[in-house]
């Protein structure tokens, strides 16, 4: 039974919670951003508003509103809303909640919504324990995860749920969250104001993460309060949070980068594509994101080496040498100095002429080997160390000729020059043209000895 004392205790406990927790929205109107996921006319919004939600997996980076959206559902649904921790929860806990959900439906005809935050942390056996309950709708599952659910969540569970992806919040969404936190009674309740430069700094530091923005705001407010107490100012005017206070509260941006998650792959992809696209500024920016996040420098160096052959190749044969030298430097030197070696090699790749002739050639040749007919080695190219080899025909030794080259068949029958290798530009284009010129001008017969 709820009493005056228990209500007061709940209020005291609520006030000591972090600002980010106190500011969790209770309705869709209070929920900021994510228009694609919960905007007007979206499936999820209509399901929440009409209380007909089916199982859903909310997927997105930290601070994008997954848990907040679950709590909006908790405040709006007529179903029983229960939570199980993916960190400390066990199969026994899940089975208990499923049994309670069955009992609740049989005795009250009341549905149960089961929220599992960080569902990817559940083992396969724990996820399997949910399958039948989700399939027969004993529970409506809301799973939240920062990891790609198509890799981390049981495929059978995914097939019974709908995946909704959330994205980093836009600057205007973060601004809206800050403004609301400054004014509502369960937030900072008009006791503080944020100047324009300070608000911009909070937005920049947040990097699309609402939780990070509110944490920075709360810490900056504490700094402002400390300064106010030292000044012994008794004014009732709101205390001003300045840019300097924000910097003291959070001295560096919290740009997302999870070395085991999607952001890791997105950023390395952007890095490689920037080198391939010959954009040195973008190349160095994405490299800095990885270096700042403490990415394994050997991982970065390996990608530079691959790019040197895949995207540059023999358009500039020095690219692979520079990349190999950078890899060796990374092994010997390590952070922080090796970031300079990585920068040099990455910029060399970005500035070098590009050719994918090498990768196209090997992929085409491998495809021919696997899919084409069996092709025999031309007789004149076969090994001579066997009986009967004198009947193989003449092999022309290139060094016996003035240009070091002589016309003869090297490919198996049925294949011709240009089937695999097609030079693009840079050194390889120049050398192919030079060779063709020399061979057309020089003799192709053996000189008299």
| Structure confidence at residue 209 as a pLDDT band (50, 70, 90) | confident
Q: Which residues of 70-95 are buried (b: 16+ CB within 10 A; e: fewer)?
A: bbbbbebbebbbbbbebeebeeeebe
The rounded distance, in Å, linking the Cα atoms of 285 and 236 is 46
Across the range 208-233, mean pLDDT stands at 81
| Structure confidence at residue 126 as a pLDDT band (50, 70, 90) | confident
- Copy the structure tokens of residue 262: 């999607």
Q: Which residues of 228-248 are buried (b: 16+ CB within 10 A; e: fewer)?
A: eeeeeeeeeeebebbbebbbe
pLDDT in tens, 330-356: 988 888 899 999 999 999 999 999 999
| Structure confidence at residue 315 as a pLDDT band (50, 70, 90) | very high
Res 441: pLDDT: 59
List Cβ<8 Å contacts ≥24 apart for 132-138: 133/98, 133/101, 134/55, 134/160, 134/161, 135/160, 137/54, 137/111, 138/98, 138/101, 138/102, 138/105, 138/112
Helix, strand, coil percentages in the chain from 3-state DSSP, rounded to 5 = 55, 5, 40
Report how far apart, in Å, the C-alpha atoms of 371 and of each of 55, 151, 374 are: 45, 31, 9
DSSP state of 87: T
Question: Mean pLDDT across the chain, nearest whole number?
Answer: 86
Q: How many CB atoms lie within 10 A of CB 276?
A: 17
pLDDT in tens, 364-394: 999 999 999 999 899 889 888 888 777 888 8
| Structure confidence at residue 306 as a pLDDT band (50, 70, 90) | very high
> Which residue would you say has higher pLDDT here, 435 or 192?
192
- Copy the structure tokens of residue 105: 């439906």
Pairing of strands 80-85, 192-194: unpaired
Res 427: pLDDT: 85
Res 405: pLDDT: 85
Res 382: pLDDT: 87
Contact (CB, 8 A) for 439 and 405:
yes
Res 253: pLDDT: 58
**Domains (range + CATH), the chain:** 34-165 (3.40.50.300), 171-249 (1.10.8.60), 262-351 (1.20.272.10), 358-441 (1.10.3710.10)
Q: Which of 26-30, 268-272, 307-311, 344-348 is least confident?
A: 26-30
Q: Which of 150-159, 234-243, 251-260, 422-431 is least confident?
A: 251-260
Sheet holding 162-165, edge to edge: 80-85, 112-117, 140-145, 56-59, 162-165
Res 368: pLDDT: 92
- Copy the structure tokens of residue 340: 């300079």
Res 431: pLDDT: 83
């Amino acid at each position: 039974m709820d009493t005056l004392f228990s209500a007061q205790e709940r209020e005291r406990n609520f006030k000591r919670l972090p600002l980010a927790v106190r500011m969790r929205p209770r309705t869709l109107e209070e929920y900021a951003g994510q228009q694609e996921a919960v905007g007007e006319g979206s499936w999820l919004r209509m399901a929440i508003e009409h209380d007909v939600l089916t199982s859903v997996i909310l997927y997105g980076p930290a601070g994008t509103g997954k848990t907040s959206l679950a709590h909006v559902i908790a405040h709006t649904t007529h179903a029983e809303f229960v939570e199980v921790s993916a960190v400390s929860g066990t199969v026994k806990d899940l089975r208990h909640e499923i049994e309670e959900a069955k009992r609740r439906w049989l005795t009250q005809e009341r549905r149960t919504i089961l929220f599992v935050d960080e569902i990817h942390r559940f083992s396969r056996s724990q996820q399997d324990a949910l399958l039948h309950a989700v399939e027969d709708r004993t529970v409506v599952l809301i799973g939240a995860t920062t990891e790609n659910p198509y890799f981390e969540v049981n495929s059978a569970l995914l097939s019974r749920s709908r995946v909704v992806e959330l994205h980093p919040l836009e600057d205007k969404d973060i601004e809206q969250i800050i403004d609301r936190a400054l004014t509502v009674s369960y937030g900072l309740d008009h006791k503080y104001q944020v100047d324009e430069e300070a608000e911009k700094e909070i937005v920049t530091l947040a990097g699309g993460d609402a939780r990070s923005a509110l944490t920075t705001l709360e810490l900056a407010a504490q700094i402002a309060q400390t300064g106010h107490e030292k000044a012994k100012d008794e004014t009732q005017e709101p205390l001003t949070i300045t840019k300097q206070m924000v910097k003291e509260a959070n001295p560096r941006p919290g740009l997302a980068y999870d070395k085991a998650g999607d952001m890791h792959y997105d950023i390395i992809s952007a890095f490689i594509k920037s080198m391939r696209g010959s954009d040195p500024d973008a190349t160095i920016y994405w490299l800095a994101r990885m270096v700042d996040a403490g990415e394994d420098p050997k991982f970065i160096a390996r990608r530079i080496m691959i790019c040197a052959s895949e995207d540059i190749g023999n358009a500039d044969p020095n690219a692979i040498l520079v990349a190999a030298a950078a890899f060796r430097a990374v092994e010997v030197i390590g952070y922080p100095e090796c970031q300079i070696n990585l920068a040099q090699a990455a910029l060399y790749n970005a500035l070098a002429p590009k050719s994918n002739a090498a990768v196209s050639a090997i992929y085409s040749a491998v495809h021919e080997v696997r899919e084409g007919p069996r092709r025999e080695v031309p007789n004149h190219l076969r090994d001579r160390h066997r009986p009967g080899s004198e009947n193989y025909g003449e092999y022309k030794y290139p060094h016996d000729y003035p240009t070091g080259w002589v016309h003869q068949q090297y490919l198996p029958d049925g294949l011709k020059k240009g089937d695999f290798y097609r030079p693009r530009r840079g050194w390889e284009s120049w050398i192919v043209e030079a060779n063709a010129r020399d061979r057309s001008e020089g003799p192709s017969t053996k000189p008299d000895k």
